[in-house]
Amino acid sequence: MTKILVTGADGFIGSHLTEELVRRGHDVKAFVYYNSFNSWGWLDSSTKEIKEQLDVFTGDIRDPHGVKEAMKGCSTVLHLASLIAIPYSYHSPDTYVDTNVKGTLNVLQAAKELNVSKVVHTSTSEVYGTAQYVPIDENHPLQGQSPYSATKIAADQMALAYYRSFDIPIAIIRPFNTYGPRQSARAVIPTVITQLALGKRIIKLGSVSPTRDFNFVKDTVNGFISTLEHDASIGEVINIGSNFEVSIGETAELIAEIMGIEVQIETDSIRLRPEKSEVERLWASNEKAKRLLEWAPQYGGKEGFKKGLKETIDWFTNTQNLSQYKADAYNI
């Protein structure tokens, strides 16, 4: 491989992925969202050694000209740039179409015109909606239960269409609920940790009965790299999940247990999804990833989950890291 373009490199997963690629000796171009603060997002917190090796491109995934310019000189693309907050998609769905669907189209078209050797497109477990059977494999029906998930379904199908129509080497990675250091406070695990870290003992959550298959960010990053490196992934959709199901309520209790705190949970109506939009159950089958990518979670099962939570708690409870979050406010 020569240069790798990572879109969404400034985000939660993208920054961890970018750093790991650099640590492994790859030449990386980091596509970050242009802003007047000259911020590289989470890459601003990377070590000096990593930042010195990065080729940073500031732009907007919605701009086809900038996307093509960024991709010049790159042999492969890891496409992570996306709007992902489900509550925000309820009142600003247009931005999700522009970013997730049109943005993906821009990446695919540029890859076609520049003869890129491989594109790894990022999907999400939300495209499955509430599980019709478990564990969820890649043949499970797709259900758009939020504007966000609908746009991700559309983006996935566009990627597959470009693979089938133009024979572009495209792989689709479908991570289940990734968590870890740097995650947005809109997600449940940072929400619980930051509230407890600030001294709250009655914490506000939405519905606690839904289950999730949480995937520690290091496992997700390894899934991306394995997808990039294995030719068997081309033309395939591949789940990356821990194959472990846990409820939101139990997750909050595990966090409190690790932090040595007794906690009470209070339902906050503003955090509840519309009834038909809530995804009640997610549990990943990761057999295809094991078979095609030789990938397996290092943080799987309950003990692996607790290990990942401990690492996440250690990061969030660092005063410098915690100060970057507005834990007193609901973050959509």
Average pLDDT over residues 23-46: 97
pTM across the whole model: 0.97
Domains in the chain, ordered, with CATH? Answer: 4-181+215-244+281-299 (3.40.50.720), 188-210+245-280+304-322 (3.90.25.10)
Whole-number pLDDT of residue 1: 56
Give me the percent of the chain exceeding a pLDDT of 70.
Answer: 100
Per residue in 99-154, pLDDT (tens digit) is: 999 999 999 999 999 999 999 999 999 999 999 999 999 999 999 999 999 999 99
Average pLDDT over residues 205-231: 97
**HEC letters along the chain:** CCCEEEECCCCHHHHHHHHHHHHCCCCEEEEEECCCCCCCHHHHHCCHHHHHHCEEEEECCCCHHHHHHHHCCCCEEEECCCCCCHHHHHHCHHHHHHHHHHHHHHHHHHHHHHCCCEEEEECCHHHHCCCCCCCECCCCCCCCCCHHHHHHHHHHHHHHHHHHHHCCCEEEEEECEEECCCCCCCCHHHHHHHHHHCCCCEEEECCCCCEECEEEHHHHHHHHHHHHHCHHHCCCEEEECCCCCEEHHHHHHHHHHHHCCCCEEEECHHHCCCCCCCCCECCECCHHHHHHHCCCCCCCHHHHHHHHHHHHHHHHCCHHHHCCCCCCCCCC
Per residue in 281-297, pLDDT (tens digit) is: 999 999 999 999 999 99
pLDDT at 214 over 60: yes
C-beta of residue 311 within 8 angstroms of C-beta of residue 305: no
Average pLDDT over residues 255-260: 97
Whole-number pLDDT of residue 56: 98
Average pLDDT over residues 253-257: 97
pLDDT at 36 over 80: yes
**What is the pLDDT of the chain when averaged over all its residues?**
96
C-beta of residue 219 within 8 angstroms of C-beta of residue 12: no
pLDDT class of 165 with cuts at 50, 70, 90: very high
pLDDT at 186 over 60: yes
Whole-number pLDDT of residue 2: 87
pLDDT at 192 over 80: yes
Per residue in 292-324, pLDDT (tens digit) is: 999 999 999 999 999 999 999 999 999 999 999
Per residue in 44-81, pLDDT (tens digit) is: 999 999 999 999 999 999 999 999 999 999 999 999 99
Whole-number pLDDT of residue 199: 93
pLDDT at 332 over 90: no
